[in-house]
Amino acid sequence: MFVLIFSSLFITISSCTKNSENYYSCDPTINEWVINNSERIQKLTPSELMEYNLESQKAIFCSMTPQQRFEVWRYKFDSVLTLT
């Protein structure tokens, strides 16, 4: 269980490496959407984030504030703990 969690964490962190200030995804369409929707993203809840596909979630997560990222991870950990 913990291996799965840490693997997810590693993938998310490594996929969030930015080469420039406004680079969130290798997919130009997703990257543009994230840039154009920054105000909307700042209001997203963790449960709303999960409604997007995985590639979009990664890009959105990279553009979130540290507090939002913390809330997303808390949400994910709580979700995993309820499975056991």
**How is the chain split into domains, by residue range?**
23-83
Q: What pLDDT was estimated at residue 14? A: 54
Whether this prediction's pTM lies above 0.75 is answered by no
Q: Which residue has the tokens 């929707």?
A: 37
Of the candidates 24, 59, 23, 63, the one whose C-alpha atom is nearest the C-alpha of residue 43 is 63
Of the candidates 61, 58, 81, 80, the one whose C-alpha atom is nearest the C-alpha of residue 71 is 61
Q: What pLDDT was estimated at residue 13? A: 55
Q: What pLDDT was estimated at residue 17? A: 52
Of the candidates 14, 61, 17, the one whose C-alpha atom is nearest the C-alpha of residue 42 is 61
Q: Tell me: the pLDDT tens digits for 1-29?
A: 656 665 665 555 555 554 456 889 999 99
Q: What pLDDT was estimated at residue 36? A: 97
Q: What share of the chain is helix, strand, coil (3-state, %, to 5)?
A: 70, 0, 30
Q: Tell me: the pLDDT tens digits for 56-71?
A: 999 999 999 999 999 9
